[in-house]
């Protein structure tokens, strides 16, 4: 059902008004209703479950980045607890020989408490990751955190090579950020951007965002950087794939990335067959609800199923 729905969706560019309305009220629905639809997007609630999913993905040729769900922690204890959980998963990845790095949100490791709290936790994770020959991706949150996240990345880069930022194609500032950051040390994920931002901060027209997305990836690859091309947009994937071939960009300069569970109509396997690296972003943890609602809101067809299911249950 998910695959079929996904393929339909991959051809539908926008939500109709009914789906938009359903998407808006989705967060108030009960967990029991959302859970079956959330399942494909989340690799369980525990580290053990997540490691099992990661192993299966690796066995099928995919690299992984793992994310512990949650954000905006408000105490140092919580931030330390998350940092410890990430340390444990770094150790388990090494022990099990998995092809998997970690993605962390700055507010999950303490950025709302202070810059220093998040930076110290990040540095502790970077030291552990370096020790285990692994890599830390700093996810990008909404625009109040952009400056601090880039600052933290640059500070980390002074001491560690195994770290990379995320740049969101919808932000007006992103071309400038890329031109400042680009170079051999840059390993960046480019995504469109998931948060609601004002017009003064971000592009809000889909085709402008897509154009900027393509320009940013080309700029990285024309410079010295490594690009994580993170999108489910088949038009963008195909356009960039063509450009990469035409420009003889070596496959060790980029990878494609998608969110776990998003149906891609067989395109990922084709990318793997071409010898490209494809990485799946695998989230797990007890805080699966908000994440799943975000994913479901991106998928109008699934929203309709959620509501049909609700009425059936009644
Ligand atoms: C690996 C990865 C990491 C990311 N990290 C960040 C980050 O750090 N910060 C940030 O702001 N955003 C992040 N994002 C989210 C990203 O910014 C987008 O909001 C999201 O991926 C949708 O954009 P898209 O490029 O797929 O294009 P869209 O134009 O939104 O979608 C392209 C096509 O894919 C379909 N699609 C998209 N999502 C789904 C879904 N859930 N289920 C089924 N079909 C779907 C769409 O309906 C459309 O047909 C990340 C995305 C990926 C893939």
Asked if residue 306 belongs to a domain, the reply is no
Residues contacting 11, CB < 8 A, separation 6+? none
Across 293-301, average pLDDT? 72
Give the number of other CB atoms < 10 A from CB of residue 123: 17
- C-alpha of residue 233 to centroid of ligand 1, in Å: 8
Asked if pLDDT for residue 32 goes beyond 80, the answer is no
Asked if residue 63 belongs to a domain, the reply is yes
Given this model, what pLDDT does residue 65 score?
98
- Structure tokens of 238? 């195909």
Range of the domain at 65: 43-284
What does the alpha-carbon distance between residue 159 and residue 147 come to, in Å, rounded to a whole number?
A: 19
Asked if residue 13 belongs to a domain, the reply is no
- C-alpha of residue 159 to centroid of ligand 1, in Å: 31
Given this model, what pLDDT does residue 313 score?
44
Asked if pLDDT for residue 13 goes beyond 50, the answer is no
Across 3-15, average pLDDT? 35
Across 204-222, average pLDDT? 97
* Residue 139: active-site member: yes
Number of domains in the chain: 1
Residues contacting 299, CB < 8 A, separation 6+? 5, 6, 9, 262
Asked if pLDDT for residue 12 goes beyond 70, the answer is no
Asked if residue 145 belongs to a domain, the reply is yes
Q: Which CATH number do you get for residue 189?
A: 3.20.20.220
Asked if residue 289 belongs to a domain, the reply is no
Across 69-73, average pLDDT? 92
What does the alpha-carbon distance between residue 256 and residue 249 come to, in Å, rounded to a whole number?
A: 14
Given this model, what pLDDT does residue 290 score?
77
Asked if residue 128 belongs to a domain, the reply is yes
Q: Report which of residues 46 and 41 the model is more confident about.
A: 46
Given this model, what pLDDT does residue 103 score?
98
Nearest CA to ligand 1 atom 19: 194
Given this model, what pLDDT does residue 15 score?
52
Does ligand 1 have an atom closer than 6 angstroms to the CB of 291?
A: no
Does ligand 1 have an atom closer than 6 angstroms to the CB of 6?
A: yes
Does ligand 1 have an atom closer than 6 angstroms to the CB of 232?
A: yes
What does the alpha-carbon distance between residue 211 and residue 235 come to, in Å, rounded to a whole number?
A: 11
Asked if residue 197 belongs to a domain, the reply is yes
Given this model, what pLDDT does residue 301 score?
65
Asked if residue 157 belongs to a domain, the reply is yes
pLDDT category at 305 given cuts 50, 70, 90 is low
Given this model, what pLDDT does residue 6 score?
32
Given this model, what pLDDT does residue 40 score?
79
Assessment of whether the complete model's pTM goes beyond 0.85 = yes
Determine contact, residues 23/15, Cβ cutoff 8 Å.
yes
Each residue's pLDDT tens digit, 233-283: 999 999 999 999 999 999 999 999 999 988 899 999 999 999 999 999 999
């Amino acid at each position: 059902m998910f695959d079929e729905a996904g393929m339909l969706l991959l051809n539908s560019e926008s939500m109709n008004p009914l789906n938009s309305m359903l998407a808006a009220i989705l967060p108030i629905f009960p967990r029991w209703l959302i859970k079956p639809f959330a399942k494909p997007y989340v690799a369980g609630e525990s580290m053990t479950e997540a490691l099992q999913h990661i192993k299966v993905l690796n066995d099928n040729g995919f690299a992984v980045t793992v994310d512990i769900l949650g954000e905006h922690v408000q105490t140092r204890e919580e931030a330390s607890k998350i940092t410890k959980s990430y340390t444990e998963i770094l150790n388990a990845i090494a022990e099990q020989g998995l092809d998997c790095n970690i993605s962390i949100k700055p507010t999950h490791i303490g950025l709302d408490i202070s810059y220093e709290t998040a930076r110290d936790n990040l540095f502790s994770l970077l030291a552990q990751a370096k020790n285990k020959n692994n890599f830390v991706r700093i996810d990008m949150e909404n625009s109040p955190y952009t400056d601090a996240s880039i600052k933290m990345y640059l500070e980390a880069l002074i001491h560690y090579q195994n770290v990379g930022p995320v740049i969101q194609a919808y932000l007006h500032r992103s071309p400038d950020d890329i031109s400042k950051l680009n170079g051999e040390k840059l390993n960046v994920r480019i995504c469109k951007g998931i948060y609601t931002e004002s017009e003064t901060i971000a592009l809000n027209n889909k085709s402008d965002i897509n154009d900027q997305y393509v320009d940013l990836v080309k700029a990285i690859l024309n410079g010295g950087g490594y690009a994580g091309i993170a999108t489910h947009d088949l038009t963008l994937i195909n356009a960039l794939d063509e450009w990469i071939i035409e420009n003889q960009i070596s496959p060790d300069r980029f990878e494609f990335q998608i969110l776990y569970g998003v149906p891609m109509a067989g395109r990922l396997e084709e990318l793997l067959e071409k010898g490209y690296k494809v990485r799946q972003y695998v989230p797990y943890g007890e805080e699966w609800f908000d994440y799943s609602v975000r994913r479901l809101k991106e998928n109008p067809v699934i929203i309709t199923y959620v509501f049909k299911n609700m009425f059936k249950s009644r």
